[in-house]
Amino acid sequence: MSSPHRFRLRALVTVLPALALVGLMGCTDAAGGTGAAGAAATSAGRLTDGRDEQGHRYREVPENGAPQVDVVVRPDAEDGWDLTLSVRHFRFTPARDPGRPAAVGRGGAQLYLDGRRLTLLHGPGYHLPSRLLSRGTHEVTARLYADDHTVWAVHGKPVESTAPVTASDATPDASAGPGAGVPSGGAAAASGGASAGGGPAAPPASAGPVPADRGTAP
């Protein structure tokens, strides 16, 4: 006849391997990111054959919940113009924290002036000095990039927004006034005031002062 001690011993031998397996799964999820939480953190769209002017590949994401950007231009009282990037479903990665893998809704904004790279922004504000613009109408474009320098894209088009800026001898002028962001490319470009990347345009930024980001050398 089996003693109570032998029964308890058999039960303990059965339970220990199960506990060891649970512990191993937990460690794998935390260190390697193989569980649901890890998959969510590393999911970052799909690389396509599309590339920007510098050869950076496009990173395609679904229209629903995709990053959006709108450029707002306001004349500065002393010199030039103050640019504000109004974004949705997007967070700027600090300049002090480079080298991250691509993650949905994170990165920086490459600023272009008349199609030429101007600077890489790590925040929503930038001061555009008048010395950079000759007399006439120019275009300022903000394009969203992931932390690995790939381009956020929707339906094969980069997520970006373009605003006109008119420079005269007398005083700087944002040709269409505050909130003059004009999107180009992207699924929602046909909608008036909509940001490239799909969905409604991002709401205008508040009229309060925005710290100007002098940017990073491109």
For residue range 7-61, list pLDDT tens digits in order.
454 544 454 444 444 443 443 333 333 333 333 334 589 999 999 999 999 999 9
Residue 17 DSSP SS3? helix
- Based on DSSP, count helices (H) and strands (E) in the chain, helices before strands: 2, 12
- Is the predicted pLDDT of residue 3 greater than 90, yes or no? no
Lowest mean pLDDT among 44-48, 92-96, 210-214: 210-214
Which two three-digit tokens encode residue 174? Answer: 């944002």
Residues shown for the chain: 218
On the question of pLDDT at 73 being above 50, the answer is yes
Strand partners of residue 106: 91
pTM for this one? 0.62
**pLDDT of the residue at 96:** 75
- Percent share of the chain, pLDDT over 90: 52
DSSP reduced 3-state for 131: helix
Q: What is the mean pLDDT of residues 84-105?
A: 89
Distance from C-alpha of 44 to C-alpha of 60, rounded to nearest angstrom = 9
What would you report as the CA-atom Rg of the chain, rounded to the nearest whole angstrom?
Answer: 25
Question: How would residue 174 be classed by pLDDT, with cut points 50, 70 and 90?
Answer: low
Q: Give me the chain's average pLDDT, please.
A: 73
- pLDDT at res. 81: 98
* pLDDT higher at 177 or 165: 165
Is 159's pLDDT higher than 90? yes
